[in-house]
């Protein structure tokens, strides 16, 4: 018996890509479901607790963070000074050129001085931004 391949052509091995694609899609879906996104990843801010009806989202927003030490960060950029004029200037430059009036969301640390939060509110008024809201975290059930 002759078990050798009779034709003179060598058959090339075939690589099936369908299982590889299936595994990659499962990995991508797993990563999408388990990934969390955080807007203020670099700042250590402990928000005060409050009872809230639900999370609101706005189309145009300016996020202002006030740290426990009194530093002000607007949309991820630190404000060089702590005066109302410095904050108002930074808010004015963070304001979009066109569109609806943005909402100023104040993320103030629970240990931040009350005066620093008032300064941000006055600065937003000086910059012509009248829609102001505060970010809090929900109190955990006991």
Segments making up each domain of the chain, as ranges: 68-138
Beta strands in 6-102 (DSSP E): 49-50, 61-66, 72-74, 77-78
Give the Cα separation of 44 and 85 in Å (integer): 25
| pLDDT tens across the length of the chain (142 residues) | 556 655 556 777 788 889 999 999 999 999 888 886 655 555 566 666 666 565 666 668 888 999 888 889 988 888 888 889 999 999 888 888 777 788 899 988 888 888 888 999 999 998 888 888 888 776 665 5
Find tokens 């955990």 and name the residue: 140
Q: Is 0.85 surpassed by the pTM of this model?
A: no
């Amino acid at each position: 018996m002759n078990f050798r391949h009779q034709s003179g052509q060598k058959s090339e091995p075939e690589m099936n890509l369908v299982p590889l694609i299936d595994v990659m899609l499962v990995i991508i879906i797993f990563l999408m479901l388990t990934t969390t996104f955080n807007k203020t990843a670099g700042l250590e801010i402990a928000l005060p607790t409050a009872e809230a009806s639900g999370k609101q989202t706005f189309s145009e927003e300016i996020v202002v963070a006030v740290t426990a030490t009194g530093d002000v960060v607007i949309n991820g950029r630190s404000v060089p000074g702590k005066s109302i004029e410095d904050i108002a200037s930074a808010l004015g430059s963070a304001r979009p050129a066109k569109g609806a009036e943005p909402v100023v969301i104040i993320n103030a640390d629970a240990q931040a001085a009350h005066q620093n939060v008032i300064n941000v509110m006055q600065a937003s008024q000086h910059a012509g931004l009248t829609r102001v809201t505060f970010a809090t975290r929900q109190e955990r059930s006991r």
